[in-house]
Chains A and B, each alone.
Chain A
Amino acid sequence: MTSTLTRRVPLGPLTDLPVGLGHAFQVGDTPLAVFRSREGKVFAVEATCPHKGGPLADGMIAGDQIVCPYHAFKYDSATGQCDQPSACALKTYAVSVVDGAVYVEL
């Protein structure tokens, strides 16, 4: 039987995430890029860029978008939609911050 329950996984304290930047995580089998914006939003997307495999956690945040470090494709941080119609959207993951600790739903 397969479980359809999402799991809430702790990623550690918020202060371990750099302000305005991302960090790469491997949660079980799932590679993630987790970002913490200057405005305090925390969001998570799949780790690699569908364009040519750029490591998104090494990218930048521009407004509401994540910018891939390889060729600057941009992805909406909330929906994962790409601004280039040629690339697929990123998978996004729900994130919450409770008492200074970051959780991701898988």
Chain B
Amino acid sequence: MIRLNTITDDAPATRRKLVIIGNGMAGARLAEDILAADPGHAFDITMFGDEPYGNYNRILLSNVLNGSQEAKEIFLNPLAWYEENDITLHAGARVTAIDREAKTVTAGDLTESYDTLVFATGSRPFVPPIPGTTLHGVFLFRTIDDCNNIAAFARGKKKAVVIGGGLLGLEAAKGLMTHNVEVTVVEMGPWLMGVQLDEAGGKVLRETIEKLGIKALTSASTQEFIGDRDVTGVRFKDGTEIECDMVVISAGIRPNKELAHEFGIACDRAILVDDTLVTSDPDIFSVGECAQHRGMVYGLVAPIWEQTKALAHRLTGKNPDAVYTGSKLATKLKVMGVELASMGRVSDVKPTDEVVQFAEPGRQVYWKAIVRDGKVAAACLLGDLGPADELVRLFLSEAPAPARRLEMFFTGATVQGEEFSLADMPDDKQICDCNGVCKGTIVAAIRAGKTTVPAVGKATRAGTGCGSCKKMVKGLIEAINGEVKADPSESWYVPGIPLDKPTLVAEVKKRGLKSVSAVLVELSTQQDEKTKNGLASMLAGLWGKEYIDERDARYINDRVHANIQNDGTFSVIPRIYGGVTSAEELIKIGQVAKKYDVRMVKFTGGQRIDLLGIKKDDLPKVWADLGMPSGHAYTKAFRTCKTCVGKDFCRYGTNDSTALGIAIEKKYQGWEFPAKMKLAVSGCPRNCSESTVKDLGIIATEGGEWEISVGGAAGASVRKTDILCRVKTQEEAIAMIGRFFVYYRDNAKWVERTYDFVPRFTIEHLRDVLVNDSLGIVAELDAEVVRTCDAYVDPWLERDKPVYAGQFEDVRTVPLPMA
């Protein structure tokens, strides 16, 4: 039998042509699925994409808006990918006509012919037909350009309104919050997220987001956006108004079916397809948000993955009988940091349904399941997803719900939580919820030799979305392969030179390379800013006074000895030893702050004072007026040594923590390291200066000794320090610190904090080397401490003699010559 829907031909005389309209999640995925099903694909693929890029992960746009990911991180396939795979991509070309007789599609002056055509045109935001939607400051939220525009416009704005309290509206609201605007979400329905939640769930969500500072207005219908050129407010049907200086509309989506409809393809709410995904024209198919299948138009990616896979298998002939029979939607999402799982429609309750509910208002936890005919027909979970996997399983498999219904929520599995076994997990269990990757797919990739987390990610996409499943991916690699293979570049000191640190140091010494440019010329495979910065730091430590200091190898902060701010000004943090200051010092700082009209004077988390918003031109003057040394709040260097009041004042203090902290900071100020170095000294185990979460922490013990511990953190990572040793005197403590400093400085990778370095070398090894002198290098380390301390020069003294042209000079103004 000949199948019309199949492109493969036993002996194709000419290559057949597949054209895909739309280069979004569905279009690009279809191309990938085709390559996977038939790597040498027996036909030419041409794609048209309205957006001028390769394709990107639309579901991560929320992260781009809230700043947790850079736009560049969400790209899936760069333009080069299309080239490598022989796919012709017309990016930035909108298809405006098709000719079904001649079998061609046209975008501007480009015409391509097809044998098979696929519509993957997705959908667009719905814009309510009310006045004011074209005002300046009114945005939609669908594309990467929208994201960039919203983010750019939000700068310096005060109040934003988001129209629509659904999933996307809330994501937009959260994104706006991170730009420091006050946000009000306006929802027409009586509660938030009406599709996924019932009234009680909506109320829990509302309380949660209000705690985050977002206002919610429900049952509010918008009548008009007010303003002349710029939007200034929103007016509602009941006559009330709220002021705002920007609006994001997220009021639902509309499938892009118009093009298909105009050229005679049958449409209803969207383009109609059957189980073979074919439209009313036998040579034209459709997948994604523009397709309507068995009455459903989906707005999430999971069903799209099923559709593209079925179609790819059909088209390539891998499985000519592949069909798509519809998706049951179960999603796990994170909305504004609130965990949410939803399946079926919880708000449609029939009189015969059993409703099982559990609420824990104190923790904003709400669970609800609807049991219909003995099976889970719908459920929503908010705040805590303990039972989510079990409920999803019951929902998807349509297995009978447990007779004691509470077991749906409180099974052994829920209580044991983490202790599930990866091995026992079925192959079709989804591991990566962002990209819909199952255990089986990941296992196959690992068996095929992908034994690092990034390699598995590249092959399957698992872990490339929000990243929360990376641990499981790693676990699977370990389970199957025995170990996770190290990525070779992981051991390099900097990305541009394929050598680990000891080899690099040896090579640099052997060749006598004393400047960054010299090292780059001789050893680098790639030039990038990280490599330059890392080399500058390493060479300075290595060559001391012989180092040839090239300022172009340094990042701006390290060139002008201050932190650049988001408006191009800088911050100034003078050193305040041990966090102890004086009336004179405070007066001086106050006077400087006044004289330079400092925008903000702030106590930092490091027990000192920050003067923020200083112009580059003013830096040398501010430093001179302060007359205090640099606090090195900007570079990879010794930062602070926080202290508590200690024995002199505190009734619990057993030793003089402030005196030790000040002594440490005076001795080690200015030391540069591969990463920041932060210390603290506490006068007793109550540990008020948080010594156990510092790179190096010291705590006075009951007997008046000092306990030194290393490798702690409480920033992006949290780790408790490991105890190195106990010493009796302040001098011994200072000496031990110096040894640790030199050993860390000379052995750590670029930007490797002690919280990674200490576990890598192990505390036992460090104790052996630094305390027991097992390598016999302690004397050498001590000598190096002296050398490094001697080399200290306060960088702020460059105020008197800048080291390169225009170092402390803002914009140079040049008049235009007379015409």
Closest residue of A by beta carbon distance from B78: A85
Minimal beta-carbon separation of A56 from chain B (angstroms): 11
With the chains together, A15 CA to B72 CA distance in Å? 36
CB <8 Å contact, A52 and B152 = yes
Contact A72-B806, Cβ < 8 Å, known A26-B812, A58-B564:
no
Q: Report which residue of B70, B152, B517, B814 has the largest number of chain A beta carbons within 10 angstroms of its beta carbon.
A: B814
Does B47 have its Cβ within 8 Å of any Cβ on chain A? Answer: no
Expressed in whole angstroms, the Cα–Cα distance for A9 and B814 within the complex equals 8
Alpha-carbon distance A51/B70, docked complex (angstroms): 10
Complex partner residue of A84 from B71, B806, B815, CB under 8 angstroms: B71
Number of A interface residues at 8 Å Cβ cutoff, please give it. 44
Which of B553, B812, B819 touches A3 (beta carbons < 8 Å)?
Answer: B819
Q: Is A62 an interface residue (CB 8 A)?
A: yes
Tell which of A7, A47, A67 has the most Cβ of chain B within 10 Å: A67
79-93 of chain A: CB within 8 A of chain B: 84-87
Bound Cα distance A87, B56 (Å): 13
Interface digits, B553-579 against A, CB 8 Å rule (1 contact, 0 not)?
111100100001010100000000000
Taking CB atoms, residues of chain B closer than 8 Å to A97 are none
Chain A residues with Cβ below 8 Å from B552 are 18-21, 38, 60-61
Q: From residue A50, how far is it (CB to closest CB) to chain B in Å?
A: 8
Q: A18-B804, A58-B568 are in contact. Are A86 and B148 (CB under 8 A)?
A: yes
B12 at the interface (CB under 8 A from A): no
- B75 and A26 contacting across the interface, CB-CB below 8 Å: no
A3–B818 Cα distance when bound, in Å, is 13
Closest chain B CB from A6 CB (angstroms): 12
Point out the residues of chain A lying under 8 angstroms from B529, CB to CB.
60, 62, 67, 72
In the bound complex, do residue A69 and residue B564 qualify as a contact, i.e. CB atoms below 8 Å apart?
Answer: yes
Chain A residue at smallest Cβ distance from B496: A62
Cα distance A24–B556 in the bound complex, in angstroms = 13
Which of B559, B805, B810 has a CB less than 8 Å from the CB of A17?
B805
| Cβ A18 vs Cβ B807 within 8 A | yes
Would you call B53 an interface residue if the criterion is a C-beta within 8 Å of the partner chain's C-beta atoms?
yes
Cβ of A71 under 8 Å from chain B:
yes
With A9-B817, A73-B72, A85-B53 known as contacts, the answer to whether A16 contacts B805 (CB < 8 A) is yes
Q: Within the complex, what minimum Cβ distance (angstroms) separates A12 from chain B?
A: 8
State whether the Cβ of B811 lies closer than 8 Å to any Cβ in chain A.
Answer: yes
| Contact yes or no, A60 B811, CB < 8 A | no
For A23-49 the 0/1 string (1 means CB < 8 A from B) is 111111001000000100000000100
| Residue of B with least CB distance to A58 | B556
Q: Are A15 and B805 in contact (CB under 8 A)?
A: yes
Alpha-carbon distance A3/B791, docked complex (angstroms):
58
- Count chain A CB atoms within 10 A of each CB in B553, B812, B819 and give the residue with the most: B812
A19 to B517, CA, bound (A): 12
Q: A26 to B811, Cβ gap below 8 A?
A: yes
Cβ distance A14 to chain B, nearest Cβ, rounded Å: 10
> Is there an interface contact between A60 and B532, defined as CB atoms closer than 8 Å?
yes
Query: Are A9 and B816 in touch, CB under 8 angstroms?
Result: yes
- Which of chain A's residues have a CB closer than 8 A to the CB of B155? 53
Best-buried of A17, A24, A60 by chain B (most CB within 10 Å): A60
How far is it, in angstroms, between the C-alpha of A86 and the C-alpha of B805 when the chains are bound? 34
B residues less than 8 Å from A7 (CB atoms): 816-817, 819
Render B510-533 as a binary contact track against A, CB cut-off 8 A, 1 for contact: 000000010000000011110110
B-side contacts of A47, CB under 8 Å? 811
Q: Which of B71, B551, B812, B813 contacts A20 (CB 8 A)?
A: B551
Q: Is the CB of A26 within 8 A of B806?
A: no
Provide the bound-state CA to CA distance between A67 and B530, in Å: 10
Q: Which residues of A contact B79 (CB under 8 A)?
A: 85
Asked if residues A21 and B551 are in contact (CB atoms below 8 Å), the reply is yes
Given A18-B806, A25-B814, decide whether A51 and B556 contact each other with a Cβ distance below 8 A: no
Asked if B550 is an interface residue, CB under 8 A from chain A, the answer is yes
Query: Is the C-beta of B54 less than 8 angstroms from some C-beta in chain A?
Result: yes
Nearest CB in chain A: distance from B804 CB, A: 4
Known contacts A3-B819, A28-B816: A18-B805 contact under CB 8 Å: yes
Residue of B nearest to A63 (CB): B527
B265 at the A interface (CB under 8 A): no
Structural contact, B811 and A24, CB atoms closer than 8 A: yes
Which residues of chain B have C-beta atoms less than 8 A from A9's C-beta? 814, 816-817
Do B532 and A11 touch (CB < 8 A)? no
16 contacting pairs across A/B (C-beta < 8 A): A11-B812, A15-B805, A16-B806, A18-B551, A26-B813, A38-B517, A51-B148, A61-B552, A62-B531, A69-B556, A72-B529, A74-B528, A85-B54, A85-B72, A86-B148, A87-B72
Residues of A within 8 A of B (CB): 3, 7, 9-12, 15-21, 23-28, 31, 38, 47, 51-53, 55, 58-63, 67, 69-74, 84-87, 106
Q: A10-B814, A11-B812 are in contact. List 7 more A-B contacts (CB 8 A).
A: A27-B814, A60-B552, A60-B554, A69-B555, A74-B528, A84-B71, A86-B72
Measuring CB to CB, which residues of chain B are less than 8 angstroms from any residue of chain A?
Answer: 53-54, 56, 70-72, 75, 78-79, 144, 148, 151-152, 155, 517, 526-529, 531-532, 550-556, 559, 564, 566, 568, 804-807, 809-817, 819
